Amino acid sequence: MTQFDYMITALLIVWTLAMISLPIQKWILGENALATGISIGVLLQLMAVWAILVWTWGLKRAALVSGVIILFAWAVEYVGHTTGFPFGAYTYTDRLQPQIGGVPVLIPLAWLMMLPSAWVIARRITRNPVGFVLVSALAFTVWDLFLDPQMVGWNLWVWEQPVGYFGIPWLNFVGWWIASAVITLISRRLITLSDLPSRPLIAIYAITWALETIGLLCFWGLAGPALVGGAAMGLVLLAAVRKR
């Protein structure tokens, strides 16, 4: 193993342990500990992804793509929670801090921590340029089949009309798909996305899938989203792993 492998492995282990500890934190410290635990988990996963980007691309390219993702994700979330487009009408609670324009800073960082994995998944599934953008957006969006019911259950954001998929409007997933496709298209215009290392980023995608499936099913009382999200994200992961 190289120095890079050891570093990424260590970061992934620490991140995984932090996420596994969330139910324990809630049990010991109460409901208010969840927001802090989520923030720590996002930052640890982001550290691993950022290390991969900088190691592969160098600081300048990594900063450029990260800036595109963070700025666009914040903008679409700001427009989304103030106008209802493109996700539907929702509002963030004050549990995740700090916030800019009513959008928790953690939200665009969460987009950054998962999109590079979606890019690698898409690259494994298709070499078609248009297909790459569409599959990247799909690989990213199926993650929200877990995420949105979980975050709503933890009162991090609230939907004006809690209907559709376990209380999440179907329009939300269309918005995720469109927004992530646009970010991918912009990023792809700026730099080449095909040289990212597959193994660590697919590992992040796989660990996220496993943590979400087991967590929602066994600890958070969300069996429906666990089964649907587990099947959808698992199928995307399987397609990528099988198609070398």
Look at residue 1 and tell me if it is in a domain. Answer: no
Look at residue 143 and tell me if it is in a domain. Answer: yes
129-141 helix and 106-125 helix, angle to the nearest 10 degrees = 130
Q: Structure tokens of 213?
A: 């499936």
Look at residue 31 and tell me if it is in a domain. Answer: no
101: exposed, middle or buried (C-beta count within 10 Å: 0-12, 13-18, 19+)?
Answer: exposed
To 5 degrees, how large is the angle CA 9–CA 5–CA 204? 45
- Report the distance separating Cα 26 and Cα 108, nearest Å: 25
pLDDT per position in the chain (244 positions), as tens? 688 888 899 999 999 999 999 988 888 877 778 889 999 999 999 999 999 999 999 999 999 999 999 999 999 999 999 999 999 999 999 999 999 999 999 999 999 999 999 999 999 999 999 999 999 999 999 999 999 999 999 999 999 999 999 999 999 999 999 999 999 999 999 888 888 999 999 999 999 999 999 999 999 999 999 999 999 999 999 999 987 6
Q: Which residues pair with 21 in a beta bridge?
A: none
- Report the distance separating Cα 132 and Cα 43, nearest Å: 27
Look at residue 17 and tell me if it is in a domain. Answer: no
- Report the distance separating Cα 136 and Cα 117, nearest Å: 9
pTM over 0.85: yes
Domain count, the chain: 1
Report which secondary-structure segment, H or E, holds 157: strand 157-159
Structural domain that includes position 106: 58-242
- Report the distance separating Cα 198 and Cα 125, nearest Å: 12
Q: Structure tokens of 119?
A: 């890019």
Look at residue 6 and tell me if it is in a domain. Answer: no
Question: What is the full DSSP assignment across 8-36?
Answer: HHHHHHHHHHHHHTHHHHHHHH-TTHHHH
To 5 degrees, how large is the angle CA 154–CA 158–CA 163? 105
Look at residue 163 and tell me if it is in a domain. Answer: yes
Look at residue 197 and tell me if it is in a domain. Answer: yes
Look at residue 28 and tell me if it is in a domain. Answer: no
